[in-house]
Chains A and B, each alone.
Chain A
């Protein structure tokens, strides 16, 4: 599990955090200065800030970036950032942006094994308790970016509702419930181009790959087969409705088959008839992240998941904020993943880690359109932002960059959110890190974080 996740997402994250503006999803060529020297967080803020290392527990550490002189309005609100997959979160790009605007920002690193999704709860609880103990901190807002979105909303869902929220009847692999009572809830959540969780692996699961021979593909189901509509020259595709339907049905079937395999093997393990007493390796090819090189139809066929289905605020490059259908603005950059490389596409996990992190069920109407994703059992797995927000009532902000691939997912989460006070705001031309994917989009990060500031400061909200 960890290897492949780190190998793809975390490395991308790390390199982008280092060079500030590069991600596959940006649909940009790598700038020549991609490896330019690192600027310390405290030097990246516009006001004097300090960085403090804090040990939270044996397996959890944090740093806090904050203004040297507390902002009279904002120092009472602390933001909490984390990300799974053993990423080093201590240089998160969000921190200097928000510290510059006067907030305290805590970044949390958890060092545990990550074999069960519920492991994240206790470390995040320790971080919450520590933040609450700081003089002057009155409100805490969970700030999820990328894979941190699902992690932090899972935390908040359990903190608001207790462990019963991860023992729902539809859950494929219910949580143990232990140590999950009395987690301190946050006062709000912000999903800043957060990933939706494992659904973004489901949508990139290759149904054409032969599980035993990952270099062999069923041409009928291969989305990178030109006969099915893919154009290698433009790295994009135009698929027929018939192919889309066939492909998504097969994707769904493969996912359900994987879940069934894992459950069958777990039942054997629990009966003492497994290969091992406790768990077994569970390895399957053709599973990528939903970035540029997975087998995700929407990344190739740009009409798919290309806009919201309802009007929302769009932070435009010119500074206006119209309410409109929010379109995505990325160009095709879809390539076949190297499915013959274990490090790229194979989920090097175990039966239990698969069930805990990845066992998201689909329904017969599984499908994607130009503005929706349907037929997903959002609450069948813990690693699901649209699932967890169904149990979150605190003020919630959902803010995708339109030049990344999470617009429709975050609108889905917005729709499903149980919060009375919720907003969906698009950031025009912002990539996964709110950097402009084309020069004409100006400074999306400024628009985004100015808006975040105003959202946090809205009278009566926090």
Chain B
């Protein structure tokens, strides 16, 4: 994820430097955007629109963010405990980097597959962290257009099959982080139940299923600060945006001081009235946009549209990155804590069972300056890609609360982590980073899991990219992966 920041100084700079940097972070094309999905989350604390892009050379690493210790100098990925090997997985679109312990011990019988909706996953932290702890880890990239979660299925499946063919490998567990969380829940659900799991009348846009036949079944699943998928995209819709005249309604504008937005304090405090109005309007706009996409799909299928296969679909005031209009970014009253007590991995090594509070700082203030941009504050998609990735049904009571997200039909999108969790029965570990806003979404996914053996734990003070948001939170990366290690190696589980 920190890798995304390295794009900063390659950006086209004929736009303002600030927007150029943001655009490089968010990407101009769908797959690139996805591969950079959490860049803005990670950088939200440090990146502002007024910050100058780094001059030449290496881009600045946001303080307290990144992936556990910064980037290594150019060269092979290796350590004294693991080596890596480049693999092609059956087609030029699918490739892997296999991390293997130099001296395989008993844990090497468990192999891990990591993937993410993008084509640049080889150095994501779970590779080195779990290989250093004795596991084999295969990082899977899929090259191609991000038409739907379906496109990644064959690549992940080939990765699992490859590992099952390695001598000594007895179990294969998949792991997803951020956008990889909703991808892996999709994969697991479909691997367990076939394409029927992403079809049916409840789905706004059922999967095609042709690429989902006979996917290799993992033995377990680990989700690290998983994003929700379509619900996450939906929650970026700016309800102030009028789709007809492109004007923004001040009564619904979360970036107006009159509504509770405090530029100087870099946070917001929205009134209950405003929040109610905002969420109702967000749900209503979502319903209109989903319906519009379905109308366009119908026109395409009937042959009355401009093209016969698909057509452009651009939603102004929406984001497939962490940008957009999200009350829970500047106002910490939303998605503030879990509903029930869970294991909290504290800096002092204790693991109490407590209500887990999100200790994140307010974020998202930079998006106010990006209002009206195509690359940051719009979803530049196509009808089919929008329907497959972003479209989900919400009801009039849709809202983020302090400990929940209500009024959303989790089963209505194939790209919904809670919807897919309903079908998952293998042992599952859900971990959230308490210095980010995915604590409550993580608990929702956890509650939906059908697994008998399921575990939820939070890493106190870790940001989305696993590092601590303040020094007092200690070595969050170590606590996280030590816990994953303990869960994987627990006697009788795998």
Contact = CB atoms under 8 A, between A and B. Distances in A.
A112 B373 contact: no
A87 interface: yes
A322 interface: no
Interface stretch (A151-159, A225-233, A326-334, A339-347): A339-347
A58 B2 contact: yes
B491 interface: no
Contacts of A186: none
A352 interface: yes
Contacts of B13: 176, 178
Interface residues of B, number: 71
Interface residues of A, number: 72
Contacts of A14: 91-93, 143
B77 A279 contact: no
Contact of A179 (B10, B77, B86, B143): B10
Nearest to A272: B372
B93 A88 contact: yes
A281 interface: yes
B314 interface: yes
A36 to B, nearest CB: 12
Contacts of A7: 145
Contacts of A115: 12, 23, 27-29, 375
Contact of A55 (B26, B72, B85, B118): B72
B310 interface: yes
B31 to A, nearest CB: 6
B306 A2 contact: no
Contact of A353 (B28, B119, B145, B310): B28
A45 to B, nearest CB: 15
B71 interface: yes
Contact of A348 (B3, B10, B312, B373): B312
A59 interface: yes
Contact of A112 (B7, B15, B75, B309): B7
Contact of B76 (A38, A52, A87): A52
A111 B312 contact: no
Interface string A350-382: 101100100000000000000000000000000
A235 interface: no
Interface in A270-287: 275-281, 283, 285
Given A61-B120, A122-B9, A342-B307, A17 B378 contact: no
B10 A86 contact: no
Contacts of A250: none
Contacts of A213: 306
B323 interface: no
A130 B74 contact: yes
A279 B75 contact: no
Nearest to B120: A111
Interface in A69-125: 86-88, 90-91, 109, 111-116, 118-119, 121-123
B84 A53 contact: yes
Contact of A2 (B15, B29, B141, B374): B29
Contacts of B92: 14-15, 17-18, 38, 88, 91
B3 A59 contact: yes
Contacts of B376: 278
A59 B7 contact: yes
Contacts of A173: 14
B309 A342 contact: yes
Interface in A229-262: none
A7 B151 CA distance: 14
A15 B29 CA distance: 22
Interface string A15-32: 101100000000000000
B143 A87 contact: yes
B10 A59 contact: yes
A118 B19 CA distance: 17
Contact of B143 (A88, A130, A348): A88
A53 B307 contact: no
A86 B93 CA distance: 10
Centre residue among A86, A281, A283 by max chain B CB count within 10 A: A86
Given A59-B120, A113-B29, A278-B374, A90 B88 contact: yes
Nearest to A6: B145
B88 A2 contact: no
B135 to A, nearest CB: 19
Given A15-B92, A116-B12, 12 more contacts: A58-B5, A88-B141, A111-B32, A113-B29, A115-B12, A115-B27, A129-B74, A176-B12, A213-B306, A276-B374, A277-B371, A350-B28
Which 8 pairs of residues, A with B, have the shortest CB-CB distance? Answer: A58-B3, A58-B6, A116-B12, A115-B28, A176-B13, A2-B29, A113-B27, A111-B120
19 contacts: A17-B92, A18-B92, A40-B88, A54-B76, A58-B7, A86-B32, A88-B93, A88-B95, A114-B28, A115-B29, A116-B12, A122-B10, A176-B13, A179-B56, A181-B56, A340-B307, A346-B307, A350-B374, A353-B28
Interface of B: 2-7, 9-15, 19, 23-24, 26-33, 35-36, 56, 71-72, 74-77, 84-86, 88, 90-93, 95, 97, 118-120, 122-123, 141, 143-145, 246, 306-312, 314, 316, 371-376, 378, 380, 382
Interface of A: 1-3, 6-7, 10, 14-15, 17-18, 38, 40, 51-59, 61, 63, 86-88, 90-91, 109, 111-116, 118-119, 121-123, 126, 129-130, 173, 176, 178-179, 181, 212-214, 275-281, 283, 285, 338, 340-344, 346, 348, 350, 352-353, 356
